[in-house]
Structure 1
């Protein structure tokens, strides 16, 4: 069976840059998987993907010209249907055999096996393996159908009548098995062995490919194209670093920009440009954003991370004299920077406070009012949080920072660059001479914006960020806007995670349930308070459970701690560590099982059981011993708990194993005497209370 390397290329008009890498990998992976499923590859076969602005291609090694024949056992029908009383084939069986290319002569060769329901007839067949032309056509059709195309185009073919749908108009198809062209067609194209190089700098056009293995080499040498996305990206990184080092600077790091630029050029050529120093008076975030977003340039930073007036251009052409290219790019970027400078200067003519009234015209949510109404709520929540912390100065600063936190939404700069919201608010606050704690809180109140993002840099920022996220989460839950399935249009899962991060890491050690109640109280519309708070608690603790699983805690450990819904989020990791240490004790399995048993007994009691023990009603030695040990253990465990030493609190419970085991072996809880029964239930309630302050230990029972 002949085995050669295979190349397939689709040559198209410029592909969407932000989707190119994903399209290239999806195209090659789908081709490979389809050929593999048809038996046309071997174990050693490997796929290499290629993606440039005008092509998607895949190189697959060791592809067979024809797949091996396969032996299959074809299920036919129940024997009672296929054979008559004398064992001869029925018309139904003959028809089925005919459809499979067989006749009555094979009836004697049929196998009878029970398929789990009845005795069934099977026919052993040899299925011819797919040939490459048929298999590759199937694979190509599947690969094109599965492409994650952001937006499909409909365009006419050359005949003027037919039209096809694809991400961009396709103009060429290559299919080479070794040196042989495979008979293949798609999107109105027939396969050949030639492709196009660089639009302007190809040495040869068209490029006639010698074989499947010469593709990347010929495109580079004859076509001035680096076909591999990864190789082109690495080349850009290398050139950026060299060009920056020559100036004693470093290029800004931006993976998304790097991917996008890689998708825009076929053979990169990095050039150095610069602009006038006067523009550096504008906040560097504005200049960096306009250069990256609008021009796809890489700004250069000095050793301290400050923006310089130099930037790097990734050009798609390499002229002998690059001055015209550099000059053109410098002329293009200058008006962009001038716009940013104008916006910055105009915005500073008005104070943030004077802009607050404009937020009344900005809709936040049709059921929750304007941004103006929203900042009033956030400011109130921030003040309540700071007052609960017990800091009057913090309360004033947090309230003011919250009031000003959204004012930059109605500035010209943020109108042009929404990504700068918060950042520009900080600059304008500093320009007005406001305290840095307030200015940085305005910028930081959006943090953490994603997993791994930094937290607000000061306490005012942490309070305002917490208030902002609580207002969003509580407000949207109060009007029924909860995430469903994978849909979370308001990013409420991210807000919940932000709340947890702030409460865990920012030193704001306040009970979650109280924070939720206070936040809900600032809304004016009518709600079922208990229902909303329950839904919020479940939602937030679910997010927390998922995060803890990612950190490596077991489901049992998490369940034991979160079953109690600990109000202080910062305590949860300490509780988990205590539970893990307790579970390692030899006494842990027995105590967890006993705790579960006690809980079940108490659940079955209809009347309220008080956690009280009357020592005069203790009769059995086992209950006396348990009461005595429990009194001592509870004192030790409670003291450790109040001191925040959850590990020691749980370790103290180990002394209960022997008396608890003896109690259940020797004492009848449901005694005939009501007073005796009530006292024993009180003893168990006291035990249950003592054992479950740190976590619900019954969740550790097997």
Structure 2
């Protein structure tokens, strides 16, 4: 049996662009996996996905016309059950064989083999390999069933359909063609009321011929490009668009570059089959509008690529990815320029209108906007954010920072009432910053208004100045405390108020800016702003946020043991966490670490289980063994090195100082009975253990490192 490459294509009406990439990858992946599972394709088969606006396809290498036969061994029953004393088959055995399509003549060929404590009968047979038509049909059915379709539509089949009995189909878009080629041979499979052939369709307007006949699986992409004017590969089409964008920007000159936006690039790739990048422009007067507004309207509404100059400022030119390549593109360019002009005019109108009212004059209007039915209006929310911001500002910078944070917090949400943000919600905060400057407010306030939503996503920048940092912390804490306080917690993959993102934002600000703020104390201090609206969520919210921090640290490469050891202490200053983790990692590499971690765990267990309280002050007069004095002396010597190092933030030196106590601790446990009969002696010895446990665990809970 000679293996050949396989090509399967489903030709459909225009697919949803934002889903196309995933649809193409899923179709090819499942198809390949199912063929491999049936033995029709090798484990190392190369699966190449194709996806264009009107097709999903997959090319799979090394596919067999029929899978190899395979040996099958089936356990029947214990020998004692299947054969009587004379070695003849019992009715139970004959019945089981009949179910497998065999009769009494197969008894002599049954294999005996141990099965646990008994011996069992096994029926060995050869299962014929599946033929490609049958196997591909099963794989195709599975691939279509498992597509991540965003929304299914029902449509009627075309009249004269080759499959009688079909009347309507459910799929993401109406399907009009199916190609299945093994080498150059058509595989007779069917899907969505269609029978497979070797003909497909190219570009709606620019195909050289229609239909496009694909002579062989390996000629698919080249044939579509030559005869159909279609770049079938999503990846190749995306790369071609990138190349043309760069070339067009270079042609414009002046160091111009197209805006970088992977999501936009993917969407445009899913909208065109034969990309052709053209340079267009708009009137310079529109550049008076904040560039974020113009960029957003061009990207979101028109799928254009704005051109930025060498300094990152928007130019009056933009790039269009057309789906046609006419000899004279002036009509296409002119059409796109006419289309974008009203969009930019709307943005300019909104900007001009919004500036007629100050942000301060909009504060009262927030009281008419509902935030949450249990937490009141946006106006009430703003007052809570102000209270929290004042408290944080006072802690970090005194009266001046507290006053600035209060002003910024009061105005931060007012741009929600502007026309521009009403049209483009993505610009909230950004427009507030522009309008604040127009109102004559300082950059400190304007930046804080603009930045208080940051970080918006993983990897986003933090607020630029202390005022923005304070307001961003207050805003996120208000959301977290409020939602936890009314029991509105994230569950599974559902997090409608983005509480996980807010938690990570707070953690990043505290950590990366090394703020002298205690996370649990911050949460607790925010609760009074809500009055009687909520129940105190400090404990569960702190647990939630430390869980977020733990997950983030593990993603950064720290082990679960290292993270647990540090976070078990709930460090008051999150900026210290990375230094503590590095110290724990260095300590764990010491030869004494394992024994000390085990001893630490043992001491913790003794103290926790003991019904006797340790002595408040250890007395040398109560020592009865030399090992007690050695223990105390080693503790004092190590603490003399560890404590100063801890106070200056040198956590590695602080932890490593405790390596010297290993031998005295081992001797103590070997030679001293902690639970002595004399109660004073017992309490004194427990006091020694308590002092060591507390001193060793200032950086991290070392017991978490014990295996």
The CA deviation string for residues 200-243 of structure 1, in whole angstroms up to 9 with x for no partner, is 01110011121111111111111111111111111111111111
* Contact 2:482 2:534 survives alignment (8 Å): no
- Out of 363, 381, 400, the position equivalent to 1:374 is 381
- Out of 298, 301, 305, the position equivalent to 2:308 is 301
Q: Answer yes or no: is 1:428 the counterpart of 2:435.
A: yes
* Contact 1:610 1:685 survives alignment (8 Å): no
Residues 273, 658 of structure 1: CA spacing in aligned structure 2 closer, same or farther, 3 A cutoff? same
How far apart are 1:404 and its partner, in Å? 1.1
Q: In structure 2, what is the Cα distance between the partners aligned to 1:363 and 1:84?
A: 82
Q: In structure 2, what is the Cα distance between the partners aligned to 1:701 and 1:46?
A: 46
Q: Residue 151 of structure 2 corresponds to which residue in structure 1?
A: 151
The CA deviation string for residues 376-435 of structure 1, in whole angstroms up to 9 with x for no partner, is 111111110111124211111111111111111111111110110110011101111111
How far apart are 1:536 and its partner, in Å? 1.4
**Stretch moving more, 595-604 or 430-439:** 595-604
How far apart are 1:85 and its partner, in Å? 4.4
Alignment of 1:79-478 (within 5 A): 79-116=79-116, 119-159=119-159, 162-248=167-253, 249-478=256-485
Q: In structure 2, what is the Cα distance between the partners aligned to 1:433 and 1:660?
A: 68
* Contact 1:459 1:506 survives alignment (8 Å): no
* Contact 2:612 2:683 survives alignment (8 Å): no
Q: Residue 556 of structure 1 corresponds to which residue in structure 2?
A: 561
Residues 146, 121 of structure 1: CA spacing in aligned structure 2 closer, same or farther, 3 A cutoff? same
Aligned length: 700
The CA deviation string for residues 451-504 of structure 1, in whole angstroms up to 9 with x for no partner, is 211111111111111111111111111111122233222221111111111001
Q: Residue 699 of structure 2 corresponds to which residue in structure 1?
A: 694
Q: Residue 646 of structure 2 corresponds to which residue in structure 1?
A: 641
Residues 114, 523 of structure 1: CA spacing in aligned structure 2 closer, same or farther, 3 A cutoff? farther
* Contact 2:278 2:322 survives alignment (8 Å): yes
Q: In structure 2, what is the Cα distance between the partners aligned to 1:661 and 1:30?
A: 59
How far apart are 1:48 and its partner, in Å? 1.3
Q: Residue 42 of structure 1 corresponds to which residue in structure 2?
A: 42
Q: In structure 2, what is the Cα distance between the partners aligned to 1:563 and 1:571?
A: 14
Task: Give the SS at the match of 2:42.
Answer: coil
Alignment of 1:667-686 (within 5 A): 667-686=672-691
How far apart are 1:613 and its partner, in Å? 1.1
Q: TM-score w.r.t. structure 1 length?
A: 0.97
Task: Give the SS at the match of 1:391.
Answer: helix
Q: CA RMSD in A?
A: 1.7
- Out of 479, 490, 504, the position equivalent to 1:497 is 504
Q: Residue 30 of structure 1 corresponds to which residue in structure 2?
A: 30
How far apart are 1:316 and its partner, in Å? 0.5
Q: Answer yes or no: is 1:601 the counterpart of 2:603.
A: no
Q: In structure 2, what is the Cα distance between the partners aligned to 1:140 and 1:394?
A: 64
Q: Residue 521 of structure 1 corresponds to which residue in structure 2?
A: 528
How far apart are 1:361 and its partner, in Å? 2.1
Q: In structure 2, what is the Cα distance between the partners aligned to 1:414 and 1:14?
A: 32
Q: In structure 2, what is the Cα distance between the partners aligned to 1:521 and 1:118?
A: 72
Q: In structure 1, what is the Cα distance between the partners aligned to 2:104 and 2:387?
A: 88
**Stretch moving more, 592-601 or 249-258:** 592-601
Alignment of 1:604-683 (within 5 A): 604-683=609-688
**Stretch moving more, 155-164 or 126-135:** 155-164
The CA deviation string for residues 526-553 of structure 1, in whole angstroms up to 9 with x for no partner, is 6553xx2221121111111111112222
Task: Give the SS at the match of 1:222.
Answer: helix
Q: Answer yes or no: is 1:539 the counterpart of 2:544.
A: yes
How far apart are 1:81 and its partner, in Å? 4.4
Residues 669, 582 of structure 1: CA spacing in aligned structure 2 closer, same or farther, 3 A cutoff? same
How far apart are 1:44 and its partner, in Å? 4.9
The CA deviation string for residues 278-311 of structure 1, in whole angstroms up to 9 with x for no partner, is 1100000000000000000000011001001101
The CA deviation string for residues 249-283 of structure 1, in whole angstroms up to 9 with x for no partner, is 11101101000001101101111111111110000
Task: Give the SS at the match of 1:51.
Answer: strand
How far apart are 1:611 and its partner, in Å? 4.5
Residues 416, 120 of structure 1: CA spacing in aligned structure 2 closer, same or farther, 3 A cutoff? same
Q: In structure 1, what is the Cα distance between the partners aligned to 2:559 and 2:189?
A: 53
Q: Residue 75 of structure 2 corresponds to which residue in structure 1?
A: 75
Q: In structure 2, what is the Cα distance between the partners aligned to 1:267 and 1:141?
A: 30
Q: Answer yes or no: is 1:574 the counterpart of 2:579.
A: yes
Q: In structure 2, what is the Cα distance between the partners aligned to 1:74 and 1:94?
A: 15
The CA deviation string for residues 554-582 of structure 1, in whole angstroms up to 9 with x for no partner, is 22221211111111101111111222222
How far apart are 1:28 and its partner, in Å? 0.9
Q: In structure 1, what is the Cα distance between the partners aligned to 2:585 and 2:51?
A: 50
**Stretch moving more, 241-250 or 105-114:** 105-114
Task: Give the SS at the match of 2:552.
Answer: helix
* Contact 1:40 1:67 survives alignment (8 Å): yes
**Stretch moving more, 640-649 or 172-181:** 640-649
Task: Give the SS at the match of 1:337.
Answer: helix
* Contact 2:36 2:43 survives alignment (8 Å): no
Q: TM-score w.r.t. structure 2 length?
A: 0.96
